[in-house]
């Protein structure tokens, strides 16, 4: 019992469930990608904003605490000083970790709008937290990277974000031709709903359920094809297993109108908009939406983005949430998924126009439009594109091994010479013989190890071990004998250390 207690009293060295650590290149590759993206945002005139991870639950909104379940979706806790903890907790006193970067933007804009310029254009990068069940590849802390223009109703603001998103993807390393920005407009969708009788502008609440069914049907176009969608717009659809999904109950003429909306894409933005104008002819809101899309298409065309930013009425994701333009960036190259199936990589960013950002705080409608990049997905795409080749060796530092413990200064001087030449280098600081030191070099994926014992010292030379070559050979060579015969180690004059190491590093990359 006492033993048990002792054992249990040691803390477990574990992250909480759903959290993880990021090591080495996982950190630096993400940082490099985000730095390339935010440089584009900056050039577009957006300003950085960094809010704290912690907000009042009240300011975060959306997720409000109740007695039975103090948090749902957010990490929240009682933020009062201990001595003040009496009586009921007001949401104003509860603290919570932000679940996205938009809610803090709303708080900042409501708090500082007199000091901020209008429009306020900001970008933000950082982790957000979700108190949700974690799953494979789904963590409770992850990065978001957002850019928003708050206080502008102009479609030019939407067009600009689409152009900026294209430039940001290219700056991150996605080649032109490997992505497309698809643009749609909620108002056009509303126009379609109006024309088919599912939306009454005078009573916009009614018919919400049926509209939701239509939206979900359209979203299945990729999977079910036009016939499947059409069935779901009407009575419903029986799938291969025999299960029946109830449809939206539209008559044939109405279902035709919805389908003509979904299939309205033409050869360019102007032609697509002309077709949409026909589809929503009966709806004022719909025509406003088409006019906005026309402006966006014309601006993107004039700036040379016409080939990669397209009006696409089949995009419905987010249409339920946004109030005007909706856009998303899709990567078009193929990958092989977990099941061995080839498919397009898919969406890596999305956004749109909203007009009630600060409503909760001030009661005023302030128009805004913005985009959020899925940082982990884009990073995965870049790794997919670059391939897993290389990268294994060469990430680690050049290692100066320690043969003689009394000569640390000499070894450290070599390291200083290498560092001053801009190379990543270190002296082995652990204990142990050469075998142990080379094992360390292996774990660090060091490209080169430098060895200088007494004999080398007297002869004015050093040994350079090409560990990158060694690793490649080891993968190819069958027997130990062959291995030993390979010239992965050379002697060079001590005076030429830096030049020879550089040459070996270059050889490794050739």
Q: What residues numbered 334-353 form the site for a copy of itself, per CB under 8 A?
A: none
Residues in 36-95 that interact with a copy of itself by CB under 8 A: 42-45, 47-56, 58-59, 61, 68-69, 75-79, 82, 91-92, 95
d(CA 448, CA 465) in angstroms, rounded, equals 6
Is there binding between residue 463 and a copy of itself (CB under 8 A)? no
- The piece of 226-234, 282-290, 396-404, 500-508 that touches a copy of itself (CB under 8 A) is 396-404
Letters for 151-180 (x = contact with a copy of itself by CB under 8 A, - = none) are xxxx-xx-xx--x-----------------
Measured from the CB atom, the residue of 20 and 383 that comes closer to a copy of itself is: 20
8 A C-beta contact, residue 418 and residue 425: yes
Is there binding between residue 435 and a copy of itself (CB under 8 A)? no
Measured from the CB atom, the residue of 282 and 304 that comes closer to a copy of itself is: 304
Measured from the CB atom, the residue of 21 and 240 that comes closer to a copy of itself is: 21
User: Other CB atoms closer than 10 Å to residue 506's CB: what's the count?
Assistant: 9
Measured in residues, the chain has a length of 510
Measured from the CB atom, the residue of 197 and 432 that comes closer to a copy of itself is: 432
Q: List the one residue out of 110, 101, 106 whose CA is nearest residue 130.
A: 101
8 A C-beta contact, residue 198 and residue 207: yes
Is there binding between residue 426 and a copy of itself (CB under 8 A)? yes
- The piece of 255-263, 269-277, 356-364, 463-471 that touches a copy of itself (CB under 8 A) is 356-364
Measured from the CB atom, the residue of 129 and 261 that comes closer to a copy of itself is: 129
Q: List the one residue out of 406, 486, 496 whose CA is nearest residue 450.
A: 496
Measured from the CB atom, the residue of 213 and 401 that comes closer to a copy of itself is: 401
d(CA 147, CA 21) in angstroms, rounded, equals 26
Judged by CB under 8 A, the residue of 388, 429, 435, 475 near a copy of itself is 429
Is there binding between residue 23 and a copy of itself (CB under 8 A)? yes
Q: List the one residue out of 502, 499, 477 whose CA is nearest residue 487.
A: 477
| Minimum distance of a copy of itself from residue 251's CB (angstroms) | 41
Residues in 298-327 that interact with a copy of itself by CB under 8 A: 298-299, 302-304
Q: Are strands 94-97 and 76-78 parallel, antiparallel or unpaired?
A: antiparallel
Phi, psi for 197 (deg, rounded to 5):
85, 15
d(CA 75, CA 201) in angstroms, rounded, equals 39
| Minimum distance of a copy of itself from residue 357's CB (angstroms) | 11
Is there binding between residue 413 and a copy of itself (CB under 8 A)? yes
Q: 269 preceded by cis ω (within 30°)? A: no
Convert 448-470 to b/e letters by CB count within 10 Å (16 or more is b): bbbbbeeebeeeebbbbbbbbbb
Letters for 114-153 (x = contact with a copy of itself by CB under 8 A, - = none) are --xxxx-x-----x-x----------xx-------x-xxx
| Minimum distance of a copy of itself from residue 1's CB (angstroms) | 17
Is there binding between residue 19 and a copy of itself (CB under 8 A)? yes
Measured from the CB atom, the residue of 77 and 483 that comes closer to a copy of itself is: 77
Query: Using CB atoms within 10 A of its CB, is residue 199 exposed (0-12), middle (13-18) or buried (19+)?
Result: buried
Measured from the CB atom, the residue of 305 and 322 that comes closer to a copy of itself is: 305
d(CA 329, CA 334) in angstroms, rounded, equals 15
Q: List the one residue out of 140, 187, 133 whose CA is nearest residue 367.
A: 187
Judged by CB under 8 A, the residue of 3, 4, 5, 10 near a copy of itself is 10
Measured from the CB atom, the residue of 40 and 192 that comes closer to a copy of itself is: 40
* Tokens, residue 48: 């950085």
């Amino acid at each position: 019992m006492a033993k048990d207690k002792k054992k249990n009293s040691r803390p477990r060295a574990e992250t909480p469930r759903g959290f993880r650590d990021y090591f080495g290149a996982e950190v630096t590759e993400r940082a490099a990608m985000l730095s390339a993206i935010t440089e584009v945002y900056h050039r577009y005139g957006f300003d950085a904003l960094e809010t704290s991870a912690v907000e009042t639950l009240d300011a975060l909104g959306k997720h409000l605490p109740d007695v039975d379940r103090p948090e749902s979706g957010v990490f929240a806790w009682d933020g009062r000083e201990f001595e003040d903890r009496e009586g009921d907790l007001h949401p104003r006193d509860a603290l919570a970790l932000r679940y996205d970067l938009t809610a803090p933007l709303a708080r900042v804009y409501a708090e500082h709008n007199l000091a901020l310029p209008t429009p306020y254009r900001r970008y933000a990068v950082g982790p957000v937290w979700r108190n949700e069940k974690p799953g494979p590849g789904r963590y409770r802390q992850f990065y978001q990277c957002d850019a928003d223009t708050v206080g502008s109703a102009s479609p030019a603001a939407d067009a600009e974000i689409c152009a900026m998103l294209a430039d940001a993807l290219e700056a991150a390393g996605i080649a032109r031709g490997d992505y497309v920005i698809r643009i749609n407009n909620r108002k056009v969708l509303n126009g379609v709903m109006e024309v088919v009788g599912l939306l009454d502008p005078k009573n916009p609440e009614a018919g919400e359920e049926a509209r939701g069914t239509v939206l979900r049907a359209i979203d299945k176009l990729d999977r079910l094809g036009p016939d499947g969608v059409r069935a779901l717009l009407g009575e419903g659809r029986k799938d291969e297993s025999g299960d029946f999904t109830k449809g939206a109950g539209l008559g044939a003429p109405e279902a035709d109108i919805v389908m003509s909306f979904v299939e309205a894409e033409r050869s360019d933005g102007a032609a697509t908009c002309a077709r949409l104008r026909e589809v929503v002819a009966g709806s004022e809101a719909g025509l406003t939406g088409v006019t906005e899309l026309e402006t966006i298409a014309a601006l993107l065309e004039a700036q040379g983005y016409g080939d990669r930013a397209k009006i696409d009425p089949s995009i419905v994701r987010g249409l339920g949430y946004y109030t005007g333009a909706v856009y998303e960036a899709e990567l078009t190259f193929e990958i092989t998924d977990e099941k061995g199936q080839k498919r397009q990589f898919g969406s890596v960013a999305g956004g749109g126009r909203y007009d009630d950002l600060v409503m909760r705080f001030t009661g005023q409608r302030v128009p805004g439009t913005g985009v959020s990049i899925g940082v982990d997905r884009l990073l995965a795409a870049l790794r997919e594109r670059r391939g897993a080749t290389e990268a294994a060796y060469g990430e680690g530092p050049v290692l100066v091994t320690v043969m003689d413990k009394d000569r640390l200064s000499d070894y450290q001087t070599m390291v200083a010479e290498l560092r001053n030449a801009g190379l990543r280098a270190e002296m082995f600081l652990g204990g142990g013989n050469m075998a142990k030191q080379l094992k360390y070099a292996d774990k660090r994926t060091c490209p080169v190890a430098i060895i200088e014992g007494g004999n080398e010292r007297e002869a004015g030379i050093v040994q350079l071990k090409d560990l990158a070559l060694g690793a490649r050979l080891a993968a190819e060579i069958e027997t130990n004998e062959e291995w030993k015969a390979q010239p992965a180690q050379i002697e060079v004059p001590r005076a030429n250390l830096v030049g020879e190491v550089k040459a070996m590093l270059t050889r490794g990359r050739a």
